[in-house]
Amino acid sequence: MRVAIVFYSMYGHMYKMAQAAAEGAISTGADVKLLRIAENLSPEILAMAHATDAQKSFSDVPIVKPEDLEWADGIIFGVPTRYGNMSGQVAAFFDSTGPVWSRGGLVGKIGSVMSSSATQHGGAVTTIHHVHTTLLAHGMLVTGLPYKMYPALFDTTDVNGGSVFGATAITGGDGARMPTEHELGAARAQGIWVAKLAGSITENCETISRQPI
């Protein structure tokens, strides 16, 4: 099976989560591509936001093109929260996927989402739900992170991200808090889950989608 991990990251949080998800998917034997969504903020704004150095750490990751999505059987999107919704960079990328949508390029593929937010209740889950709407419009089969796949989601002894809707990370108000091992573990589990799900479902869904109703 083939899994794409597609992320946008400003300070590196979603990059680290994407790396963890890729590790999980690779552990199942999946063929995995790590791809990043292009930045559309000017160098001046990135410098004022103190994000320039962080972005250099993943500048060698290939920038995703809409047609890259069609290669994968399962796709995990790493989407940071902006006011309870996806970032503008991610929205711009999805706006460019119209040709993929028109030819049904993602119909029957597994889609899943991870996110991050500055605080515990900063909108990471609402961001995941917003992205789910886009994936459903593409005809994808949407999945989250079942508790059975990562029982540590029940752990309430520490402040951590993570939800049954998808792995999440808490970044802190200034972005200085990087994902914890708990949060990275959720991302790895999500990578494993999506890879296994893609391997067992996608082939049958492609067959069904070609049959006349």
Query: Could you tell me the CA-to-CA distances from 82 to 116, 128, 173, 177, 186 in Å, in that order?
Result: 9, 11, 13, 17, 21
Cβ atoms of residues 85 and 122 within 8 Å? no
Read off the pLDDT of residues 146-159 as tens digits, 9 standing for 90 and up.
999 999 999 888 88
Q: Is 106 helix (H, G, I), strand (E, B) or coil?
A: coil
Region of poorest pLDDT, from 9-23, 66-80, 169-183: 169-183
**DSSP 8-state class, residue 83:** T
Strand partners, 105: none
Residue carrying the six token digits 């089969």: 141
pLDDT the model gives residue 213: 60
Pairwise CA distance, residues 161 & 179, whole Å: 8
Pair type for strands 141-142 and 110-117: parallel
All residues at 6 or more sequence positions from 53 whose CB lies less than 8 Å from its CB, including other chains? none
Read off the pLDDT of residues 23-46 as tens digits, 9 standing for 90 and up.
999 999 999 999 999 999 888 988
Pairwise CA distance, residues 190 & 38, whole Å: 23
Residue carrying the six token digits 């250099």: 56
Which residue type sits at 48? M
Pairwise CA distance, residues 204 & 208, whole Å: 6
